[in-house]
Structure 1
Amino acid sequence: MSRLILVTGGARSGKSSFAEGIAKECGNNVLYVATSKPIDDEMKQRIAKHKAQRPSDWETLEEYKNLDLAISNHIHGKEAVLLDCITIMITNLMFEETNDWDSLTRDEVQEIENSIQHQIERLIGLSKMSDVTFVIVTNEIGLGIVPATAISRDFRDIAGRMNQLIARAADEVYFCVSGIPMKIK
């Protein structure tokens, strides 16, 4: 039986560890989808730490776009898919479009958001059509102050709306605080 589970929380809230625990409960045949790109030494160290934490027999797919297609090519025989994380996926998709966010019109920002939303909707569709559990990790970034820059506000708004979209479709939603998961749906 398929399930879509969303795990959210702030930075270092324990959401990845909690999500990995859910995936382990599903069985040993897990597809781990890593959305980050190793762009600098710090990110390379973070990726290495995440790899060391998870079981070595899990298959890892490093991708951040067209995830429905990428996952479809690896899902056969899997018991769970763990995607970590939506927030980094959104960041990569935003910067793939442009690095000059200051010159974008509101219509251009909306086009980028629509493109990201389309990818999220396709991912949700795959999760609902498959017979495996999908565990999706994302950051809750809307609890702080209003960001000072336009790109930061656009990122917060897009990520917040994508989180809402996934949460509406999810069978279960957990919010992690200080390593403690709270089931909110």
Structure 2
Amino acid sequence: MTGKITLVTGGARSGKSNFAEDLAKKSEKSVVYLATAIPFDEGMKDRIKKHRESRPKDWITYEGYKDLHTLIQGIDKEYKIILIDCITIMVTNLMFEEDVCWDKISHEEIDKIEEKIKKQIKKMMGSIRENDLWCIMVTNELGMGIVPENRISRIFRDIAGRMNQIIAKEAEEVYFTVSGLPMKLK
């Protein structure tokens, strides 16, 4: 048997994380929560604190955004569910590891960065399948708004959107949340 991937997407504050956590709770299985955020300011620190407080105390939490496939391979076999929150923050962190001028970066350099991120996503999904886990991934839907004014935002939107497409194509289930209401797309 191979693992299962469920993708939960939607706009900001659409209820994605709450829905994903509810899916995991309903399973009544041991959950590993992979948090990809870096607390870079007071607002993010407060969001992370609230997320931590809302999770069940028996969930194991790991924080990181890179080489998640290695982390997944090392998870104790008693855990059968992984909740990753969130793919778009993971993409952001991987992008900002690069020491480039985003206003002057060439299309070739962008393609190389995107390929590195894609490899991270593919390896992560491979580990989920190999270890027969159910992984619930949370990500932001970025393609429904206006075209961003600045270049880095457009680059981010494009890369994140393509990573979402890769995951959605391979996922067994995909949900789109709006105003706290989930809609099953796949």
**Length-normalised TM-score, structure 2:** 0.96
- Whole-Å Cα distance in 2 between the matches of residues 114 and 142 of structure 1? 20
Count of matched residue positions in the alignment of Structure 1 and Structure 2: 185
- Whole-Å Cα distance in 1 between the matches of residues 27 and 123 of structure 2? 23
- Alpha-carbon contact 2:34-2:82 (below 8 Å) kept: yes
For residue 182 of structure 1, give the secondary structure of its aligned residue in structure 2: strand
- Whole-Å Cα distance in 1 between the matches of residues 23 and 131 of structure 2? 17
- Alpha-carbon contact 1:101-1:151 (below 8 Å) kept: yes
- Whole-Å Cα distance in 2 between the matches of residues 98 and 137 of structure 1? 27
Answer yes or no: is 1:7 the counterpart of 2:8.
Answer: yes
Q: CA deviation at 1:137?
A: 0.3
Q: CA deviation at 1:126?
A: 1.3
- Whole-Å Cα distance in 2 between the matches of residues 69 and 29 of structure 1? 19
Q: CA deviation at 1:180?
A: 0.2
Q: CA deviation at 1:99?
A: 5.5
For residue 158 of structure 1, give the secondary structure of its aligned residue in structure 2: helix
Bigger shift: 113-122 or 73-82? 73-82
Q: Give CA deviations for 1:22-74 in whole Å, capped at 9, x if unaligned.
A: 11122241000000001111111000000011101100000000110122222
- Which residue number corresponds to residue 135 of structure 1? 136
- Whole-Å Cα distance in 2 between the matches of residues 14 and 124 of structure 1? 24
Counterpart of 2:53, as a letter, is: A
For residue 137 of structure 2, give the secondary structure of its aligned residue in structure 1: strand
- Which residue number corresponds to residue 68 of structure 1? 69
- Which residue number corresponds to residue 93 of structure 2? 92
- Alpha-carbon contact 2:73-2:131 (below 8 Å) kept: no
- Alpha-carbon contact 1:27-1:80 (below 8 Å) kept: no
- Whole-Å Cα distance in 2 between the matches of residues 24 and 159 of structure 1? 27
Counterpart of 1:151, as a letter, is: I
Match runs of 1:99-138 below 5 Å = 100-138=101-139
**For structure 2, which runs of at least 5 residues remain unmatched after alignment?**
none
- Which residue number corresponds to residue 78 of structure 1? 79
- Whole-Å Cα distance in 2 between the matches of residues 50 and 172 of structure 1? 24
- Whole-Å Cα distance in 2 between the matches of residues 39 and 50 of structure 1? 16
- Whole-Å Cα distance in 1 between the matches of residues 161 and 46 of structure 2? 27
Answer yes or no: is 1:18 the counterpart of 2:19.
Answer: yes
Answer yes or no: is 1:53 the counterpart of 2:54.
Answer: yes
Bigger shift: 75-84 or 14-23? 75-84
